[in-house]
Structures are given as structure tokens and as C-alpha cells.
Amino acid sequence: MRPYQDGKHLSYGFGHNGPDVSLDDVMPSIDDAFALLIQDLNGRAITVSRYIKTEVTQNQFDALLSLYQNAGSGPLARMAELVNKRCITKAGEQFPRYCRVRDDDPTTEVVEFRESEGLRRRRLSEQTIYFHGDYGDCSWFPYWTGDPFKTPMTRYPMPVHWLEDGTI
């Protein structure tokens, strides 16, 4: 797996980004990508716990964690504010608001935003998890060996031991 430009960050694996990712990096294996995903999610779960000051269900927490993993702290902070006011339904209704991506034109320095069909599907899935605890078909993960806009998606089966040993 090779890094690709994902908005303003370089990413690889399952959305890992940060100052430790450079264009020269190569993810050695899909197992390494999963290990990095677990590391990222564990760290982000701590952050979500700090934002949420009231009791939520596991599925609500998971949906907020997924949103934070993909969209960052801005949407999480806005939704956490509603959750902490116990406006649980209103918070869950916010997921579809976060479907826009930057669409920069490097020739004009114009920054615009457009709705992403992929993000719309992801936000609706998170909303379904949030309200109904329906995680859908979790038997596989989508992944790309490089830039998702240039390489085909591959379905990687979820490691069975993750369910058995409580990894997820």
C-alpha cells in the first residue's frame, strides 16, 4: 500500500495520516495496516471518551468514533455538544451534514467543497449504527493499494480471531 493525498493529508492503510506518513512510505502488508488501524482507533477512542460527558450506548460511541476517525475533531465536537445536552436524536440527525470534501483547483487557488457520494454512504452507515446498532456486513473491509481514486477497491476478509479475542 502506498500513501495518497487524502484531502490535506497523506494517508495510507485504513486512513492513517499524520506527520509520520510520507510519499516514500510503503505499507509492508495488510496485517500492518490493520495493526495501525487498531492503534489509531484506540487512541481516538480515548479522545471520544473525553468529548462525551454523558452515558451513550456502545453503538452510539462506535458511530461517533467512526466519524472522528474519518472527519476529525470538528464534527465530533459539534455532535458531542448535542449528546452532552442529551439531544441524542438531534445529534444522530447530524451525520449527513458531514459529506463534503475539499475540491481545490491548483490553477486558481480556489477552494470549493463538493458532496462525496462515498462519504454520504459512510455517514448514512454511521447514522444507522448510531440509531439502530446495525453494523451491516462486517465480514470484510474495503481497502485500496494506493489512491482510492486511481486503484480498484479490494475486499479484505475481517480476521476471524478479532471476533474471538475481542479485538473488535
CATH number reported for the structural domain that contains residue 149 in this entry: 1.10.530.40
Q: What is the pLDDT of residues 98-122, one digit of tens each?
A: 998 877 666 777 778 888 888 899 9
User: What's the confidence (pLDDT) of residue 79?
Assistant: 97
Range(s) of the domain holding residue 61:
4-14+25-165
Number of domains making up the chain? 1
User: At a CB cut-off of 8 Å and minimum separation 6, what does 119 contact?
Assistant: 70, 98, 99, 100, 101
The answer to the question of residue 47 being in a domain is yes
State yes or no: pLDDT of 1 exceeds 80.
Answer: no
Q: How far apart are CA 168 and CA 166, in angstroms?
A: 5
Q: What is the pLDDT of residues 47-88, one digit of tens each?
A: 999 999 999 999 999 999 999 998 999 999 999 999 999 999
The answer to the question of residue 115 being in a domain is yes
